[in-house]
């Protein structure tokens, strides 16, 4: 679902970024108020799971691929605001270091995956949770919430893609950016995400959530209204238990090369050289003359290293940097939350 550069007009990109600025501001503020230093470090682990989730590409009939994002997962464990920040950082690293997702399109990608997904996913999970009061009810509600979350995000992306040809044409009447209108983008993205990608998201979310339930030593955001002692989010007063949330992360990191098996590019993530062949018949002007950012480890591959090794290495770097970034951010937080 990563929108590359030159698929959205600069105006669209600017608009989406402008919308995200207050969202980021609010999230930073809320996380500041609600979370202690140690739990902010945990957001790093959440961000890492999101990063890894996005590396498991799954083939979708029709020749494209999709992947899980994990936005709802983080929202359920640490809260939607924390999830917003976590996914933002993951997307940032992907865009800057790996060239996955555009630089100008960063705002739009965050809007879809760091804002719409976690919030929609969270509130639906919460709604369902109220109805399913049994013990494993949280897992089911998170499954349902994540499904809605990823589809809401993909709908947004589809709309962002689809309005481009109507609004932004060159002198010859041809689309300058994404050449496919709503009539193509919406079905394409939604079919992929209502089926395979949605399923991937649900499975990933349930898998990691259940693991964290046993391995993590903190109370989950989603459960704060349902457990008897509703304390601060991510409160580590349960200190007797050691935190093992990173173990699954290690396992998944090693398994990431499975994501290389899926050939084909996800819908809307084609390079400038591929797009004419996908049915448009031409290469939009915005792509030939637009911004061209050269990432350090483009597409998670490196000259001199076999693809599998480069992929795992990229996973390692992405995870480690996410953890480091949030540990640094945690320094600006207090050790204890004020009452």
Partner 1 sequence: MKNSPAGTKIMKTISLLLKNDTEMSKIEKGKWVILPALRLLFVLFLIILISLSKNAAFVIVVFAGLVVRLAMLKPETIKMVVMRLVPASLLTAIIMLPAVFLGNPRSLIVVTGKVICSVLTLSELNASVAWKDLTHALQDLHLPQIFILTIDMTVHFLVILGRVSNAIVEAVELRTCGKKNPNWKKAPTGGILGTTYLISERMSRESSEAMVVRGFSGEYKTLKKHKFNWMDLLYLFAFVLVLLIFIYLERAM
296 binds partner 1 (CB under 8 A): yes
- Residue 49: CA atoms inside 13 Å, Cβ hemisphere, count? 27
61 binds partner 1 (CB under 8 A): no
308 binds partner 1 (CB under 8 A): no
CA distances from 51 to 36, 98, 180, 271 (A): 23, 12, 28, 22
Is 282 exposed, middle or buried (CB count within 10 Å of its CB: 0-12, 13-18, 19+)? exposed
- The answer to whether the CB of 150 falls within 8 A of the CB of 68 is yes
Q: Which residue, 15, 18, 81, 48, is CA-closest to 233? A: 81
Q: How far is the CB of 234 from partner 1 (least distance, A)?
A: 15
**Among positive and negative, which fits the CA dihedral 163, 164, 170, 172?**
negative
DSSP tag of 242: P
Q: How far is the CB of 285 from partner 1 (least distance, A)?
A: 26
Q: How far is the CB of 41 from partner 1 (least distance, A)?
A: 7
- The answer to whether the CB of 117 falls within 8 A of the CB of 19 is no
Q: How far is the CB of 195 from partner 1 (least distance, A)?
A: 35
Task: Tell me the DSSP string of 255-300.
Answer: HTTHHHH--SPPTT---TTTGGGGTT-S--HHHHHS-----SSGGG
Q: Considering the complex, state which of residue 20 and residue 310 has its C-beta at the smaller distance from partner 1.
A: 310
291 binds partner 1 (CB under 8 A): no
Q: Considering the complex, state which of residue 194 and residue 316 has its C-beta at the smaller distance from partner 1.
A: 316
Residue of the chain from 281, 282, 320, 334 that contacts partner 1 (CB under 8 A): 320
| Residues 190-229 as x/- pattern, contact with partner 1 by CB under 8 A | ----------------------------------------
Cα end-to-end distance, the chain, whole Å:
40
CA dist 53 and 35 (Å) reads 25
304 binds partner 1 (CB under 8 A): yes
Residue of the chain from 313, 334, 336, 339 that contacts partner 1 (CB under 8 A): 313
323 binds partner 1 (CB under 8 A): yes
| Residues 9-48 as x/- pattern, contact with partner 1 by CB under 8 A | ----------------------------x---x--x----
331 binds partner 1 (CB under 8 A): yes
330 binds partner 1 (CB under 8 A): yes
Q: How far is the CB of 215 from partner 1 (least distance, A)?
A: 17
Q: How far is the CB of 26 from partner 1 (least distance, A)?
A: 24
CA distances from 12 to 83, 109, 168, 313 (A): 24, 12, 10, 34
Region binding partner 1 by CB under 8 A among candidate stretches 73-81, 107-115, 194-202, 301-309: 301-309
136 binds partner 1 (CB under 8 A): no
49-61 burial code (b ≥16 CB/10 A, e <16)? bbbbbbbbbbebe
- Residues forming contacts to partner 1 in the complex (CB under 8 A) are 37, 41, 44, 296-297, 302-305, 310, 313, 316-317, 319-321, 323-324, 327-328, 330-331
């Amino acid at each position: 679902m990563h929108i590359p550069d030159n698929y959205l007009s600069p105006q669209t990109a600017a608009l989406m970024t402008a919308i995200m600025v207050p969202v980021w501001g609010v999230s930073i503020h809320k996380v500041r108020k609600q979370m202690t230093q140690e739990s902010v470090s945990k957001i790093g682990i959440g961000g890492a799971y999101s990063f890894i989730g996005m590396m498991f590409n799954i083939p979708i009939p029709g020749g494209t691929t999709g992947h899980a994002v994990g936005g709802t997962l983080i929202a359920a464990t640490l809260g939607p605001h924390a999830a917003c920040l976590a996914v933002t950082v993951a997307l940032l690293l992907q865009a800057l270091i790996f060239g996955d997702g555009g630089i100008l399109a960063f705002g739009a990608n965050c809007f879809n995956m760091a804002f719409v997904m976690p919030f929609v996913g969270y509130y639906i999970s919460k709604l369902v949770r109220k109805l399913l009061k049994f013990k494993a009810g949280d897992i089911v509600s998170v499954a349902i919430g994540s499904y809605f979350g990823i589809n809401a995000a993909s709908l947004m992306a589809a709309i962002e893609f689809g309005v481009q040809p109507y609004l932004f044409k060159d002198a010859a009447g041809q689309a300058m950016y994404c050449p496919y209108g709503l009539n193509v983008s919406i079905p394409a993205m939604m079919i992929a995400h209502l089926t395979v990608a949605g399923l991937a998201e649900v499975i990933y979310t349930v898998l990691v959530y259940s693991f964290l339930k046993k391995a993590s030593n903190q109370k989950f955001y989603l459960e704060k209204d349902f457990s008897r002692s509703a304390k601060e989010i991510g409160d580590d007063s349960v200190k007797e238990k050691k935190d093992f949330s990173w173990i699954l992360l290690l396992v998944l990191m090693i398994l990431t090369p499975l994501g290389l098996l899926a050939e084909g590019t996800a819908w809307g993530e084609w390079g400038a050289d591929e797009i004419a062949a996908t049915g448009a018949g031409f290469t939009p002007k915005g792509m030939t003359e637009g911004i061209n950012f050269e990432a350090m480890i483009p597409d998670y591959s490196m000259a001199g290293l076999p693809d599998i090794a480069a992929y795992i290495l990229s996973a390692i770097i992405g995870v480690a940097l996410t953890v480091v970034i949030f540990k640094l951010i945690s320094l600006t937080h207090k050790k204890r939350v004020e009452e």
